[in-house]
Amino acid sequence: MDSEIGTVICTPDGPSTGDFSFVVTYNENGVPVHRGQFVELQSLEGKIIAQVQNVKKTNRYFMRPESVKEYEKGKDSLTSIFPANRWEYVVAEAKTSGVLSEKGLNQVSFPVSPGDKVYRVSKNSLSKFLGIDEEGGINLGKIRYHDLSAKLDLTKLLRKHVAILAMSGAGKSYSAAVLIEELLDRSEERGRVASVIVDVHGEYTSLAKSGEGVDYSDRVSVFRGENIKIGVPNMSAYQFREFAPDMSASQARELSRVINQLRSEMRSGKGAYGLGDIIGKVKENGESNKHLRRALLDRLYELKSLNIFEKNDYPSWRELTKPGESSILDLSRVFNLRKKRVILSYFSRKLFNKRKSGEVPPFVLLLEEAHQFAPSQSSAISKPILKKIAREGRKFYASLALISQRPVRLSTTILSQANTNIILRVTNPHDLDHIKKSSERITKDTADMISSLPVGQALIVGEAVNHPIFIEVRERNSKEAEHEAGLEEIAKQYEEKREKKKDPVETFV
């Protein structure tokens, strides 16, 4: 047992199997106990781990408001007349979490006794209780009020998917970057996974830059959205129909016939074909109905306007997934939402199928602004494959990391498959309600604490931990993205660049 901090007392409601209160006897300077802190005590069943739910202070000299008011009217305060400070005491209310045994964690079936001593939880007990992997875990930060790193087991954290949820500016992208750094830092002996990041705002590209902090540039590849291409010979008529949902079955059959002709020509040595070749073949094909041809051409021209269809994939699936490395699909300059969804749908399906056949390593797909790609109330080109990975990815070691500032707009079907949630500050009541519905381990008290979390602190709940914990996210090892700079700094940089551009012009004039 660690240092003693209190003694269990009787209240009208306890001690019970689920709750107990204790008076704080720790007299040294500083805050003796915090709301959310873990404590331990010995009972008839064994070592009980509990969490402080509330802390109250009381003093018998200040119990009657009218007396306090009268005394405070005089020259001398109440504390100068009576030894009031000696009668002040602190009572903490705690909720039992379980009995720690060699076999694991058991439910508490018998209450603690009044007079039992309460201790600060030892590092070893807390680590064992929470399921912390101190040797090879993913270190996301420090557990709040405890000198213990939140090193989470890789399998428990990622295999059944993870969601990082927070309001804008609360630190969700920063936390995701910390997770990526941990994946990049893993050694081959501990098992390395590939990570593919769909970066909507260019917030992760700084990982590929050398300079301040740890240099990850040799393990991070950035693929700019304007350069990303989909190889048309790799696509079937069904996939084209997936990207153009209003394509009819008869149009898809005609397209399939055209694709088969082009594939036959390619095999005979004519070379790869592009979307323009398909369009040309449809135009010259006199066997098909003119109305059908025109309707099909309308769909194909729509897809061509996205400017992502070429003769070969870029990047290739081999480039995207390498053990211990990250690939960033930087879509910050892609403004067409449909184009973003097409890119995600194609590459995520390709990687998932390759993973099922064992051709790529286990991977995690980190999806920034996940609600854009899997909306709750509407359909989206990218939604079906994300649902499929959410349901079946666990069997094939293909994981999702869903990052969103609007959980209420994210598909409940997909979010509910994320068995671990990392939740930073969320204040919107609709989002909080949505989060509570998706995770049964989040109580009303926990939800209230989420809404008041400072920036950089998070709640972790679900498969990765045996009990919900609050952590302080560790500092990044790599250089932060420019998005993290202050408004003053960005305004200053803009004016400096503007002045440099003006100087040569003024000299010429």
Pick from 166, 130, 123: which is nearest to 145 by CA?
A: 123
Q: What is the pLDDT of residue 98?
A: 93
Does residue 216 register a pLDDT over 90? yes
Q: What is the pLDDT of residue 484?
A: 62
Q: Are 177 and 366 in contact (CB under 8 A)?
A: no
Q: What is the pLDDT of residue 447?
A: 80
Does residue 102 register a pLDDT over 90? no
User: Confidence band (pLDDT; 50, 70, 90) for 504?
Assistant: low
Q: Which residue has the tokens 């194909």?
A: 300
Does residue 330 register a pLDDT over 70? yes
Q: What is the pLDDT of residue 351?
A: 98
Q: Are 333 and 368 in contact (CB under 8 A)?
A: no
Q: What is the pLDDT of residue 228?
A: 98
Q: What is the mean pLDDT of the chain?
A: 90
Q: Are 501 and 224 in contact (CB under 8 A)?
A: no
User: What whole-number distance in Å separates Cα of residue 158 and Cα of residue 164?
Assistant: 12
The percentage of residues in the chain with a pLDDT greater than 90, rounded to a whole number, is: 73
Q: What is the pLDDT of residue 69?
A: 66
> 350-376: per-residue pLDDT in tens?
999 999 999 999 999 999 999 999 999
Q: What is the pLDDT of residue 362?
A: 98
User: What number of other Cβ atoms are within 10 A of residue 129's Cβ?
Assistant: 22
Q: What is the pLDDT of residue 397?
A: 97
Average pLDDT, stretch 28-51?
90
User: Among 143-147, 172-176, 488-492, which stretch is predicted with the lowest mean pLDDT?
Assistant: 488-492
Residue 355 gets which letter from DSSP?
H
Average pLDDT, stretch 294-313?
95
CB-based contacts of 292, cutoff 8 Å, min separation 6: 250, 251, 254
Domain with CATH 3.40.50.300 in the chain: 149-228+316-482
Phi, psi at residue 429, to the nearest 5°?
-60, -35
Average pLDDT, stretch 135-153?
95
Q: What is the pLDDT of residue 337?
A: 96
Average pLDDT, stretch 153-158?
96
Q: What is the pLDDT of residue 441?
A: 74
Average pLDDT, stretch 311-331?
97
Q: What is the pLDDT of residue 67?
A: 66
Strand, coil or helix: 433: helix
Average pLDDT, stretch 409-429?
93
**How far apart are the two ends of the chain, measured CA to CA in Å?**
80
Q: What is the pLDDT of residue 111?
A: 94
User: Confidence band (pLDDT; 50, 70, 90) for 500?
Assistant: confident
Run of H or E including 396? helix 383-396
Q: What is the pLDDT of residue 74?
A: 62
Q: What is the pLDDT of residue 286?
A: 63
Q: Could you tell me the two tokens for 49? A: 């781990």
Average pLDDT, stretch 308-332?
97
Q: What is the pLDDT of residue 68?
A: 62
Q: What is the CATH number of domain 149-228+316-482?
A: 3.40.50.300
> 40-98: per-residue pLDDT in tens?
999 999 999 999 999 999 887 677 676 666 666 666 666 666 666 677 889 999 999 99
Average pLDDT, stretch 476-493?
79
Average pLDDT, stretch 454-483?
90
The string of DSSP codes covering 142-169 is: EETTSS-EEEE-HHHHHTT-EEEE--TT
User: Confidence band (pLDDT; 50, 70, 90) for 394?
Assistant: very high
Q: Which residue has the tokens 């990815």?
A: 393
> 245-300: per-residue pLDDT in tens?
999 999 999 999 999 999 999 999 999 999 999 999 998 876 558 889 999 999 99
The model's pTM is 0.89
Q: Which residue has the higher pLDDT, 70 or 394?
A: 394
Q: 492-497 — which CB contacts under 8 Å span 24+ positions? A: none
Omega before 15 within 30 of 0, i.e. cis: yes
User: Confidence band (pLDDT; 50, 70, 90) for 139?
Assistant: very high
